[in-house]
């Protein structure tokens, strides 16, 4: 199974900050990498698919990059509604689909 490792596990930032979250795969997954946002008590929401493609309706301050084993999710200017937990997920070698452990983004 492909293991997904996110860093950091938690992060404190302020409104307006530029934030980057990293996801590393245990083997190459090409661009088969998705990012999700989850707020407390809510279902996950798809932000980015295929490593860098923005899901319809997602603000352009979110962007994704990377291929192979190393990927990043960047929020260019944090907004109050962006404080949430973010998960990466690989869809290259399934089953099983695997998720990273999550990165909790908190207000500083």
Partner 1 sequence: EVQLVESGGGLVQPGGSLRLSCAASGFTFSSYEMNWVRQAPGKGLEWVSYISSSGSTIYYADSVKGRFTISRDNAKNSLYLQMNSLRAEDTAVYYCARDSDHRDGYIYYDAFDIWGQGTMVTVSS
Least distance to partner 1, CB of residue 81, Å: 18
- Contact region with partner 1 (CB under 8 A), list: 14-22, 44-52, 61-69, 73-81: 44-52
Three-class secondary structure of residue 49 per DSSP: strand
Per rule CB under 8 A, is residue 22 in the interface with partner 1? no
For residues 61 and 20, give the distance between their C-alpha atoms in angstroms, rounded to a whole number.
Answer: 12
In terms of CB distance, is 16 or 96 closer to partner 1? 96
- Residue selected from 49, 62, 71, 83 as contacting partner 1 according to rule CB under 8 A: 49
Are 60 and 74 contacting, i.e. CB atoms less than 8 angstroms apart? no
């Amino acid at each position: 199974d492909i293991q997904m490792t996110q860093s950091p596990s938690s992060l404190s930032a302020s409104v307006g900050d530029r934030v980057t979250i990293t996801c590393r795969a245990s083997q190459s997954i090409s661009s088969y990498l998705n990012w999700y946002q989850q707020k407390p008590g809510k279902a996950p929401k798809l932000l980015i698919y295929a490593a860098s493609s923005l899901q319809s309706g997602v603000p352009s301050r979110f962007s994704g990059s990377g291929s192979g084993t190393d990927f990043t999710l960047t929020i260019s200017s944090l907004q109050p509604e962006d404080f949430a937990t973010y998960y990466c997920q690989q869809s290259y070698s399934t089953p099983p689909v695997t998720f990273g452990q999550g990165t909790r983004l908190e207000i500083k």
